[in-house]
Amino acid sequence: MQVLCAPNRKEVDDAHARKRYMDIGVPSLRNLTLIKKEKLLLWSLLGLSSLPLHLMYNSMFFGSLSTNDYNIYYVTEDFLTGAAYDRVAFPDKVEGRDEDYIDTSAMQQRLQQNNGTWQELSNAECISAYAVDTLSAHRDVVIVVEPQNTTRKGSMVSRDRYRFNFNSELEMDYYNPYDWICVDPMLAEKFIAQGWSLSYRCYQTIPQLKKIADQWSPRYYDARYCMSEMMEGKCSLNFSLAIAVVVMICNVVKIFCMSYVAWGIKDSPLITVGDAVASFLRRTDSTTRGAHTSNDTGAMTEMTITAFSTERRYILGSEPMVLEGRSRRLKDAASKGRWFSMAGLLSAALIIVAGLLAYGIEHLKTSDRSMSALWAMGFGTVREESLIGGSGWHMPSVTAAVIVANLPQVMLSFLYLLFNGLLTAMLAAREWSHYAQERKPLRVSTPKGMQRSTYFLSLPFRFASPLLVLSGALHWLVSQSLFLASITTELRDGRTLAEDTVSTCGYSPIAMVLTLSVGCLMLVGIVGVGFWKVSADLPIVGSCSAAISAACHPPPGQENAHLLPLQWGMIPRADGDEVSHCSFSAEEVEAPVAGAKYA
């Protein structure tokens, strides 16, 4: 896309003739108003085809967890050895109930056979095992109670069924899963005796309840221990055909556009500042002859802020300039508009992430919010305590959840373009300033003669490498901070319940913490680079094509200067010149003197 918005020489000449300038060497929206319509169309297609990729590509494959519904049986210990129970009160068939719910006799037989599928758990272990939303490693639970608490005849005291309906529960502000564990009329007194306060939400009560598990009395019955039916946890890797089709269409559009750019467009764009210098040395620009490059970037800043305004004009000095001789900083190479756009949006993004992190931690469905607990929740892991829900929240489909989960990727990609453009502008100015200190060949897109090739990834390796690593880490951390969560409820026969399948988003607080850390590191890093000093001899021109052109008026007879090592400095005066002129030259130049006037 940077190649498409890079102007060719004809477009630059046309802009200069109309007293406008174009940006060279950096991504530029303002160039789009001045390039050919053909390139503008291709640029638009590439940009629009990127949007669905950022919104969907990460979730074309997604994981799904399954949770088991389960029956809860309250029995005396002799039930485990086959003792009779009241079949009138607990019949094996009830009208309107599925067989999995009512077949108590079959469960008793499985329990007696116990071929390794049932495990004895203490009260505390039983509470820990079933105080979860996504129950995948266990199913039915048999709670052995004290016989003196019972009034029923036989070994079966009571039974119940639990199924957590994610779709309904997550839409409610009153989130209270596995509440059967806390149904104890004496629980408040037990908590008061320990000096604890009792929450009306069971999941907030669990940590304290496990400390007095020997006093656990679910459904009014004093529990002794549990027998839990063990299951092998299930998960699945899902593929979205609809998302895959959209991704393939977008990639086909990109392949077409890039192929057309490579073989269909015949112009030679000025992609780098070196390309522009080589072009202006090969054929000088008459519109900037006699003008000087100035350190005053006010006009360029004004133009960049109003990127699509065609009424603004650049101002290039025509009177001799007094060389100040004071050092400049790299931040001056980029317009205030670029700085405000990048630093402002990045700061706003970090503030938003910090706010969401604080809100997310506050609304975690767990009482332990320590850093170790947040770390234990992992990265991008679907957990019931960090599912997004609440009043009015509902995802109509997986696709909707995918789009919400990937919206931050769009903002991150836009911020990366701004960050990369700002860093590119500053490093281009840094290399530009070196030409006032030493002679060296130009760095161009297509080297000839003694010219050098451009950097891989458009930046020096020591800058491109950290930027690539940090931006990649940031994209991954963002994908782990907010992600698609799909959970299905599975019955004993393997059927899943569509009405109990939830598609929502989950979040990872620890991933958000690291996202904030990396984002702040990048912001501090680029601000620090902006305060690096550059040579005082060669004025900073930024990306302004007119200012670059003004520095490229060598003495006659240097038609091939662009192929040779160059240096910027004071060149010999031509006949009739009252002041000296500074330019790039393949011949010897003199260092400008601070306080002297130059054109």
* One domain, residues 196 and 52: no
Are 387 and 466 members of one domain? yes
Q: Is residue 170 located within the same domain as residue 258?
A: no
Same domain for 127 and 39: no
Render the burial of 141-174: b for 16+ CB within 10 Å, e for the rest: bbbbbeeeebeeebbbbbbeebebebbebbbeee
Partners of residue 549 on adjacent β-strands? none
Print pLDDT tens along the chain (599 aa).
788 888 889 989 998 888 888 888 888 888 888 888 888 999 999 989 998 888 888 788 877 777 888 889 999 988 888 888 888 888 776 655 554 556 788 888 888 887 778 999 999 999 999 988 778 888 899 999 988 766 667 788 888 888 766 655 555 555 667 888 888 777 777 887 777 777 767 777 888 888 888 889 888 888 999 999 988 877 777 788 888 899 999 999 999 999 988 888 888 889 888 999 999 999 988 888 765 555 444 333 332 322 323 333 444 555 555 555 566 788 888 878 888 888 888 889 999 999 989 988 887 766 667 788 888 888 877 777 777 765 445 555 677 788 888 889 888 988 988 898 889 888 888 888 888 888 999 999 889 989 898 876 678 888 888 999 999 999 999 989 988 887 777 776 667 766 667 777 888 899 999 999 999 999 999 999 988 887 766 777 778 888 888 888 888 888 888 899 999 888 877 665 666 788 889 988 887 776 666 66
Cα pseudo-dihedral 495, 500, 503, 505, rounded to 10: -120
Distance CA 147, CA 132 (A): 28
pLDDT at 310: 35
Is residue 295 domain-resident? yes
516 and 531 assigned to the same domain: yes
Asked if 297 contacts 542 with a C-beta cutoff of 8 angstroms, the reply is yes
Question: What per-residue confidence (pLDDT) applies to 292?
Answer: 52
pLDDT score of 251: 93
Single-letter amino acid, residue 534 = V
Q: How many CB atoms lie within 10 A of CB 194?
A: 10
Question: Same domain, yes or no, for 41 and 127?
Answer: no
Q: How many domains does the chain have?
A: 2
- Report strand pairing: 452-453 vs 443-444: parallel
User: What does the block give as tokens for 523?
Assistant: 């912001």
- Residues 447, 477 within the same domain: yes
Other C-beta atoms lying within 10 Å of the C-beta of residue 263: 8
| Secondary structure tally for the chain: helices H, strands E | 18, 17
Residue 259 lies in a domain: yes
Indicate the burial class of 278 (C-beta count within 10 angstroms; 0-12, 13-18, 19 or more): buried
Mark whether 42 and 83 lie in a shared domain: no
Cβ-contact 381, 510 below 8 angstroms: no
Same-domain status, 495 and 358: yes
Would strands 223-230 and 118-121 be described as parallel, antiparallel, or unpaired?
antiparallel
* Residues 598/592, Cβ–Cβ less than 8 Å: yes
Kindly state whether residue 589 falls inside one of the protein's structural domains: no
CB 65 within 8 A of CB 235: yes
The pair of structure tokens assigned to 474 is 């940031």
Which of 176, 202, 236 terminates a domain? The answer is 236
**Residue 241 is assigned to a structural domain of this protein:** no
409 vs 56: CA distance, rounded Å = 10
Start-to-end CA span in the chain (Å): 36
Q: Write out the two tokens for 385.
A: 């305590």
Contacts 24+ apart (CB under 8 A), 588-591: 591/436, 591/537
Query: What's the rounded Cα separation, in Å, for the pair 311 and 36?
Result: 19
Distance CA(487)–CA(235), nearest Å, equals 9
CA dihedral (397, 398, 400, 405) positive or negative: positive
Q: What is the CA radius of gyration of the chain?
A: 35
Identify whether the C-beta of residue 278 lies closer than 8 Å to the C-beta of residue 451: yes
Report phi then psi at 435, rounded to 5. -70, -15
| Domain extent for 123 | 63-236
Asked if the structure places residue 176 within a domain, the reply is yes
CB under 8 A, 24+ apart: contacts of 209-212: 209/127, 209/181, 209/182, 210/124, 210/127, 210/128
- In angstroms, rounded to a whole number, what is the distance separating the alpha carbons of residues 392 and 265? 51
Judge whether 597 lies within some domain: no
Residue 473 burial by Cβ neighbours in a 10 Å radius (0-12, 13-18, 19+): middle
> Token pair of 181, please?
């564990």
Single-letter residue type at 317: G
| Same domain assignment for residues 185 and 97 | yes
In the numeric block, the tokens 């860093």 are attached to 423
Tokens matching residue 293: 């490059």
CA distance 534 to 138: 67
User: Is 150 inside a domain boundary?
Assistant: yes
Residues 485 and 524 in one domain: yes
174 within a domain of the structure (yes/no): yes
Nearest to 571 by CA among 561, 562, 581, 557: 581
b or e along 333-342 (b: 16 or more beta carbons within 10 Å of the residue's beta carbon)? bbbbbbbebb
158 and 80 in one domain? yes
CA 477 vs CA 60, 409, 546: distances in Å: 18, 10, 42
Which of these, 8, 454, 446, lies nearest to 270 by C-alpha position? 8
Q: Which residues of 80-91 are buried (b: 16+ CB within 10 A; e: fewer)?
A: beeeebeeeebe
- Are the C-beta atoms of 218 and 105 separated by less than 8 Å? no
